[in-house]
Chains A and B, each alone.
Chain A
């Protein structure tokens, strides 16, 4: 398996523009997580999905942020309009959920993508 795939790896945009980050989770994983990493705030969970359904979006900073998961193999995180304070590295992670043949230790492990470094000028 190729692991979690994120695109683009780097994005530079101007304030006010729309930004869309993309994620392909590991095939067969039930859970997908979006994180933001900054020097000041560390690693923050923004939202997570189970079987394509958003479960907890309490970490989404404000209405400018939205996330979708139209199918099991694709998710997007959109920022509209973008602001300089949105500059950060955004990570996507996926994990198994409890299910047939899944051990407790397996379904608690999250696999991270390489991240998208977003710079808003």
Chain B
């Protein structure tokens, strides 16, 4: 069964500092991996996705993530945090198996940006 683990339920960074949100996955087959962002009182919005093409994936708002099979990781980074990045971030993995389109989400990491 596929699963994801997000290290750290809360991360605080200063404005302009590097953002690093960690995600490790467990999957018996090459996974499809996603990062979603949730702003307060809103639904989830896709930031980026890995679907077995390039291992370095660029998303919206300057975020990117690198798929590392040897480390079973898909960490999310952004070189310079902006106040508007304050939100909750979710890593997700798609279930394997023909005809399966379910995603399993991590518990989420709440990002705070300090001015």
Interface flag for B44 (CB, 8 Å): yes
Interface of chain A, helix or strand or loop or mixed?
Answer: strand
B10–chain A nearest beta-carbon distance, Å: 13
Q: Of B43, B49, B101, which is within 8 A of A97 by CB?
A: B101
When distances are taken between beta carbons in the complex, the residues of chain A under 8 Å from B36 are 112
Asked whether B43 lies within 8 Å of A110 as measured between CB atoms, the reply is: no
Which one, B32, B41, B53, B108, contacts A43 given CB within 8 A? B108
B42 CB to closest chain A CB (Å) equals 6
Q: Please, which residue of chain A has its CB at the minimum distance from the CB of B53? A: A105
Cα–Cα distance between A101 and B51 once the two chains are bound (Å): 17
Residues B43 and A112 in contact, CB atoms below 8 Å apart: yes
Q: In the complex, how many angstroms separate the beta carbon of A101 from the nearest chain B beta carbon?
A: 16
What 0/1 readout, one digit per residue, does chain B (80-98) give for beta carbons within 8 Å of chain A?
0000000000100010000
> Interface range on chain A: under 10, 10 to 19, 20 to 34, or 35 or more?
20 to 34
Interface of B is mostly: loop
Number of interface residues of B (CB under 8 A): 24
Contact A105 B49, beta carbon cutoff 8 Å: yes
A108 and B44 contact, CB distance less than 8 A: no
Contact with A along B89-115 (1 / 0, CB 8 A): 010001000010111111110000000
- The residue that B102 contacts in the complex, of A48, A109, A114, with Cβ under 8 A, is A48
Query: Which of chain A's residues 80-99 have a Cβ closer than 8 Å to chain B?
Result: 91, 93, 95, 97
A110–B103 touching, CB < 8 Å: yes
Interfacial chain A residues near B32, Cβ < 8 Å = 108
Interface contact B43-A114, CB-CB below 8 Å:
yes
Pair A105/B51 contact, Cβ less than 8 Å: yes
Give a binary string over A58-96; 1 marks a CB under 8 Å from any B CB, 0 the rest: 000000000000000000000000000000000101010
A92: nearest chain-B partner, CB-CB: B43
A43 with B51, Cβ < 8 A, contacts A4-B43, A114-B43 known = no
Instruction: Find out whether the CB atom of A114 lies under 8 angstroms from the CB atom of B42.
Output: yes
CB of B12 closer than 8 Å to a CB of A:
no
A14 at the interface (CB under 8 A from B): no
- A91: chain B residues within 8 A (beta carbon): 43-44
